[in-house]
């Protein structure tokens, strides 16, 4: 098994999208990067080809013998597959070592659910990744954002900011999701599912 792990957090670039429910993938990846003591970069550097960032903010860190490549696409949600495919090819990372982190309105706020494959569930980011990769056979970590919105108001809800009550719930859960990312890389998807899906 390859020692390279590609972790992609889904979200939209730009300050106006910071702290929105749809950007929870970015937030979880930020938390994981903090735990590795690495920073995301989006600029040219000559000393490391990886940091010649394209289509994404990127960071890398090592845990034991595993190299974690962290990617926050700058393509906007609907074109996430472009960045995912680029970094899979660039780093020659097998699909089995890909984990995509996304928001999910069908899960209660703060609940996490790891799966080794699945459908896009109506999520535009996952749909585009499936289309570009011609496959849904990659692991995804879904983070519940709840569905407390009236009919027809889903877009405004997912692009809305977390309120204070929600923040109290999600902040510790973000840390838990970051731990799940690490264990995914070290233990694989099955053992990590068993450890975290019931938490």
Let me know how long the chain is.
199
φ, ψ dihedrals at 66, nearest 5°: -105, 135
- Look up 123 and say whether it is catalytic: no
Active-site residue, from 22, 140, 173, 182: 22
Which residues form the catalytic set?
A: 22
């Amino acid at each position: 098994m390859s020692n390279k792990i590609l972790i992609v957090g889904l979200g939209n670039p730009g300050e106006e999208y910071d702290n929105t429910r749809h950007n929870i993938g970015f937030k979880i990846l930020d938390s994981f990067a903090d735990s590795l003591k690495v920073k995301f970069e989006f600029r040219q550097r000559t000393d490391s080809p990886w940091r010649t960032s394209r289509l994404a903010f990127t960071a890398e860190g090592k845990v034991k013998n595993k190299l974690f490549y962290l990617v926050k696409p700058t393509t906007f949600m609907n074109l996430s597959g472009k960045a995912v495919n680029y970094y899979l090819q660039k780093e020659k990372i097998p699909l089995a070592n890909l984990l995509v982190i996304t928001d999910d309105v069908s899960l209660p706020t703060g609940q996490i659910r790891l799966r080794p494959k699945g459908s896009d569930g109506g999520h535009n980011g996952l749909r585009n990744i499936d289309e570009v990769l011609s496959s849904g056979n990659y692991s995804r970590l879904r983070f519940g954002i709840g569905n407390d919105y009236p009919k027809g108001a889903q877009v405004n809800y997912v692009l809305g900011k977390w309120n204070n009550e929600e923040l109290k719930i999600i902040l510790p859960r973000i840390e838990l999701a970051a731990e799940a990312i690490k264990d995914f890389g070290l233990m694989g998807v099955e053992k990590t599912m068993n450890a975290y899906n019931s938490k």
